Amino acid sequence: MNTSIPSAGAVLRPVSEACRDEAEVLALSVARFVAAGYMTGDIACWDAAFNGAEELLGADEGGRFVAGVVGIVRALRVEHDGDWSFMPASCCRLTGHECALVALINRGRRGPWDELAQEAATLAGRPTAPRLTAAVRAAADTINAAAQRLLPPTRGPVVLH
């Protein structure tokens, strides 16, 4: 199955080109921290994800935001076969896998759901990816709400990475 994920040798895209708004930048950063936590077993990575989101969104909304992104990363771990590459949380470039993840989150935020299910299956490299589809759907409203809270102030853009 063609996954349409850029190859490992592809030029890394800048965050500013791949992410539509600051909520997607935050989602990417949180996903990177969560992935680092899985890879290292260090709880400090997850704490960093919560600390960053809570600082920007407040304790309640920040916690919900991280929980939604954790659900997406967990679903990826279950339904995606093979390795997955993430950059460090503060990196200003994205791997091909991260570009595909951001595109999936963007699709989930906009709908329609049948296209989301297709894109999730493609990303997972399977005929279907119901957990990934459900996780993105569950996180979409929280990410959209965060986008409204993270609108850049009139004095200049917010930089989250």
The pLDDT tens digits for 44-72 are 999 999 999 999 999 999 999 999 999 99
**Which pLDDT score is estimated for 83?**
85
> What does the pLDDT look like over 93-109, one tens digit per residue?
999 999 999 999 999 99
As a whole-number percent, the residues of the chain with pLDDT over 90 amount to 78
Flag whether pLDDT at 143 surpasses 50.
yes
Flag whether pLDDT at 120 surpasses 80.
yes
As a whole-number percent, the residues of the chain with pLDDT over 70 amount to 88
d(CA 11, CA 87): 13
pTM of this prediction?
A: 0.87
Asked if residue 97 lies in contact with residue 28, where contact means CB atoms within 8 angstroms, the answer is no
- Count the Cβ atoms, other than its own, within 10 Å of residue 130: 14
Average pLDDT over residues 5-31: 83
Structure tokens that stand for 73 in this block: 């990363």
**Residue ranges per domain, the chain?**
14-149
Looking from the CA of 66 toward its CB, the CA atoms found within 13 Å total: 23
Average pLDDT over residues 131-141: 98
Of 51-55, 114-118, 151-155, the range with the lowest mean pLDDT is 151-155
The DSSP 8-state label assigned to residue 55 in this structure reads: H
d(CA 29, CA 34): 9
Flag whether pLDDT at 4 surpasses 90.
no
SS3 labels along 69-130: HHHHHHHHHHHCCCCCCCCCCCCCEECHHHHHHHHHHHHHHHCCHHHHHHHHHHHHCCCCCH
